[in-house]
Amino acid sequence: MRAKAIAMLSLVALSACSGGSSNPFGSLGSIGSLNPFGGRDEAPARSSDGMPVAPADGSVLVERLETVRPEPALRGVIIRASGIASTQGYFGARLAPVNGGLPDEAGVVTYEFRVLPPETVEPTGTDTQRRLIVATFVPDADLAEVRGFRVVARTNSVDLRR
């Protein structure tokens, strides 16, 4: 009984460790030397024909990206992004992989930051009120041929390079 109690206390104490990061999420992604992707480039959003294709679920691209960052994870990487919607009320945010999540000829995997629009007209509000945060996990097995990631919004995109 005593051994179980000590083991439980040890596990609880260890679970509170954040790996030395000041990030509230306990990630090492903010430490430059451990970040698996080096640079971050911002560019206007691009599409092959200039017109985005509307998916069957009715989702749209978020208005603009605010931050995109990779975070090392056990056996992979987490791509975390925050975006600002055009008005309040958008929901169901997700990073939707383009091309089935496979890298393009340059080795870049592209994700679209998609949201579902509100059913009624909503007030604009502040950026804080319109902010949406999403993340997706990419396992190590899928990273072998990947040279970087691109996250696309309606008005901009962010490229992460390895």
Which residues have C-beta within 8 Å of that of residue 39, sequence separation ≥ 6? 159, 160, 161
CB 130 within 8 A of CB 124: yes
Banded model confidence at residue 28, pLDDT cuts 50, 70, 90 = very low
Q: What is the mean pLDDT of the chain?
A: 78
Stated pTM of the model: 0.66
**Closest among 161, 162, 150 to 65, alpha carbons compared:** 150
Q: What is the 3-state secondary structure (H, E, C) of 74-90?
A: CCEEEEEEEEECCCCCC
pLDDT digit string, tens, across residues 71-88:
999 999 999 999 999 999
Which residues have C-beta within 8 Å of that of residue 52, sequence separation ≥ 6? 61
Radius of gyration over every alpha carbon of the chain, rounded to an integer in angstroms: 19
Banded model confidence at residue 121, pLDDT cuts 50, 70, 90 = confident
Percent of the chain with pLDDT over 70: 65
In the block, residue with structure tokens 């999403």: 134
pLDDT of residue 30: 41
